[in-house]
Structure 1
Amino acid sequence: MKRLHVHLSVSDLDQSIAFYSGLFGSEPGVRKADYARWLIDEPAVNFAISDRACGEPGVSHLGIQAGDDDDLALIEERIAAASGPVENEGETTCCYARSRKSWTADPDGLRWEAFLTHGESETFGAEPDLSRLDESAAQSGGACCDSAA
């Protein structure tokens, strides 16, 4: 099953967990000191929050979680057809999960990931180097809050 992925940066993890647990009617399936994730079936969403991300609270990134290898291949084909920048991260550990993923950015610099999760991890993992995506967005106009603005 494919799921839309939403990852928000939050300023207070505990308050946000309480809010979203009420909103979704369930506690997060994964909860760590700096991260929480819900896998919601209706609508099919992988919703994550963390207080690790840089910057102000808000959308960290969006994505599409693949259900299997064929789903991931199709999503990656669509990313290529969208003609945005592509950063193939490959096998990685991120957000307490082991996954294979690729990244792109829309014309305004909003980051999207396509990923297939293979299992859990005890560590959050390292932040990927997505500077190439940021450079591409800056060339196309970028977001209004670019540091150069």
Structure 2
Amino acid sequence: MKRFHVHVIVPQLDESVRFYSGLFGAEPTVLKDDYAKWMLEDPRVNFAISARDGEVGVNHLGFQVDSDEELSALHEQVTAANVNLIEQRGAQCCYASSNKYWSQDPAGVPWETYHTLDDIPLFGMDSHDAATTKEACCAPATASIPATIGRSVRCG
């Protein structure tokens, strides 16, 4: 089953955790020094925030799926529509290891579609770049993204 995903970069994590906990009526499912995530059931949303480098605001949207079969089905759907995408197998970001792919809508909004495999102890280490820097999380390096994707994103 798909879960809608939203990742927002915030200037102050503590302040934002208080706000979103009140808004959602729930404490985060995951809470780190630089990251928080709510796995909501009504509506079915994976809402993540991080206080790391990047422009404050909505960073990317996406779909989290429960299996690699669902991920493959969505991948085929997007490929059939001639949408450019970047695939990442075993990506390590946002305290999780995932198989995923990235695309970008015509307005420039990055979309992440992924299946989480396991939790990891670090914010991230991208499978395409072994560095454990803030720049390494989630999206492939800007130079490897097709022209239609255009900007780097952080994971959630």
* TM norm structure 2: 0.82
Question: What's the C-alpha RMSD, in Å, of the aligned pairs?
Answer: 1.7
From the CA coordinates, give the structure whose radius of gyration is larger: 1
Greater CA drift, 125-134 or 43-52: 125-134
Runs of 4+ in structure 1 over 4 Å off: none
Structure 2 residue 107 is the aligned partner of structure 1 residue 108: yes
Q: Look up the match of 2:10.
A: 10
Change in Cα spacing, 1:3 to 1:87, as seen in structure 2 (3 Å) is: same
Question: How many correspondences in the alignment?
Answer: 138
**Cα shift readout 1:16-42 (whole Å, capped 9, x = no counterpart):** 100000011110010001000000001
Q: Report the equivalent of 1:54.
A: 54
In the other structure, the counterpart of 2:34 is: 34
**For each residue in 1:63-103, what CA deviation from the matched residue of structure 2 results, as whole angstroms up to 9, or x when unmatched?**
10011122111111122133222101111111001111111
2:4 maps to a residue whose letter is L
Does structure 2 retain, via aligned residues, the 8 Å contact 1:72–1:115?
yes
Q: How does 1:1-149 map to 2 (within 5 A)?
A: 1-55=1-55, 57-125=56-124, 126-127=136-137, 128-131=139-142, 132-133=144-145, 135-137=147-149
In the alignment, structure 2 segments of 5+ residues that lack a partner are: 125-135, 152-156
Counterpart CA distance in 2 for 1:78 and 1:32 is 35
**In the superposition, relative to structure 1, how do residues 53 and 66 fare at CA in structure 2: closer, same or farther (>3 Å)?**
farther
Work out the CA distance in 1 between the residues paired with 2:99 and 2:9: 22
The runs of 5 or more residues in structure 1 that have no matched partner are 143-149
- In structure 1, what residue type is equivalent to 2:148? S
The 2-side partners of 1:11 and 1:134 are apart by 29
